[in-house]
Structure 1
Amino acid sequence: MSTTPSTPRLAGQHAGYVRFQLAAFRAKLRPSPVMQGVAARLTDQNIADLAAYFAAQPVGPAWPGGNAALRARGEALFQQGDAPRNVIACAICHGADGRGNERLGVASVTHQSPGYALAVLRELKNAPSFGGIIHPEAMRIALRPLNDNELRALAEYVSRMP
């Protein structure tokens, strides 16, 4: 349960998502010199064990404070999207509560720090095509029409969503 704004909260994250991300770091498909170094030393069993451990932990509390107006804009984008601009609602895949879907491999985004959430949204929006790996590709396409202020709004909302 990270309280550091730049470190993800893994408590309550779906095991399949954690396994996928650690494998992506280990294969150097996801950028992060720190995580690539950590993941390089992990066996498949280590990854499975870590994923099971984190999935069994309760999701932590929402981050305190924040900007109410920005959060409201993020909530609208998350829950309804913006149809005239072809912006899909995040809730379509991540669920109205942001908890994702283990069966489909969709991450829980609830209560990540605003800074970490924004960094990941930017990373996914600006990522090159992963050549058919569905989740990063879907995120890259879904985030394409959003500007940086809208990414900030989404990060504000997911960090403090009910």
Structure 2
Amino acid sequence: MQRTVRFSLWLAVPLALFVPAISALAQSGTAAKPAVPAKNPLALTFKKPDPAKGKALSQSCQGCHGPNLASTNKAIPGLAGQNPSYTRLQLAAFRAKLRPSQVMWQQAANLSDQDIADIAAYAGGLKPGSAWKVGDEKVRAKGEALFHKGDSGRNIIACAICHGDNGRGNDYLGVASITNLSPEYGLAILKEFKGAPGFGVPHPDAMRIMLRPMTDADLKAVAAYISSMQK
């Protein structure tokens, strides 16, 4: 998966939705006609998800995301145990080419809304992958403290407030499960969120604000902890 700036997804969606209106206003010498609202590329319509169909559809995903979608590659996230709402959002974003990744664009291109819902349901019912080995237990311990308690003296908010003590997030609110997230990928995501601009979208903005006071050493510690939460 490419590591280009993933927060471009959150910037691209509003622009994609407002392009028709902008184009109409740009017509010189003529009165602007009411623009037909663009379809939200992230809004999915589907019936009750079928995990069995999702399992069949996800066979090709295992080449990158690992057997039973539990990644064995530090640079690639596992999908096992991920909250369905989060997986649906990401697959829809890849299908609409709003999140960068040539590989995922190809994989998601022919997925229907129902396919996406079925895959998300299957992945969500799997057990998260095994904990990753941590080289420095002191670093992990620092990450554990930051995750569960934060650091009030430095205005660092505990990650557990949104992601839960077990790191499983919240499906209803669309908060991702990060339990045993591959360490290299986890660190890359944390750095990207911290470096993202503010643009008023709740989840990424919350991450950006929470990570702002953290140092690179803090981010590395948190990534080490979440990669090995459930030993």
Give the TM-score normalised by structure 2: 0.65
Shift of 1:142: 1.2
Q: Is the 8 A contact 2:196 2:208 kept in 1?
A: yes
Q: Is the 8 A contact 2:134 2:140 kept in 1?
A: no
1:150 counterpart residue number: 218
**CA distance 1:22–1:132, shift in 2 (3 Å):** farther
1:159 counterpart residue number: 227
The separation in 2 between residues aligned to 1:111 and 1:144, in whole angstroms, is 23
1:141 alignment partner, one of 191, 199, 209: 209
1:111 counterpart residue number: 180
**CA distance 1:27–1:112, shift in 2 (3 Å):** same
**Structure whose alpha-carbon radius of gyration is higher:** 2
2:128 alignment partner, one of 59, 73, 76: 59
2:3 counterpart residue number: none
The separation in 2 between residues aligned to 1:102 and 1:46, in whole angstroms, is 18
1:49 counterpart residue number: 118
Alignment of 1:27-106 (within 5 A): 27-106=96-175
The separation in 2 between residues aligned to 1:133 and 1:148, in whole angstroms, is 24
The separation in 1 between residues aligned to 2:97 and 2:202, in whole angstroms, is 17
The separation in 2 between residues aligned to 1:62 and 1:19, in whole angstroms, is 24
**CA distance 1:37–1:86, shift in 2 (3 Å):** farther
**CA distance 1:37–1:146, shift in 2 (3 Å):** farther
Asked if 1:5 corresponds to 2:66, the answer is no
> What's the CA shift string for 1:124-144, capped at 9, x where partnerless?
222233x33321221122111
For structure 2, the residue ranges without an aligned partner over 5 or more in a row are 1-69
The separation in 2 between residues aligned to 1:104 and 1:19, in whole angstroms, is 13
Runs of at least 4 residues off by over 6 Å: none
CA RMSD of aligned residues (A): 1.6
Once the two structures are aligned, what percentage of the paired residues are identical? 58
**CA distance 1:137–1:33, shift in 2 (3 Å):** farther
| Larger RCO (CA under 8 A, 6+ residues apart) | 1
Count of aligned pairs between the two proteins: 161
Q: Which amino acid aligns with 1:133?
A: V
The separation in 1 between residues aligned to 2:215 and 2:102, in whole angstroms, is 27
Secondary structure in structure 1 of the residue aligned to 2:86: helix
Secondary structure in structure 2 of the residue aligned to 1:160: coil
**CA distance 1:142–1:36, shift in 2 (3 Å):** farther
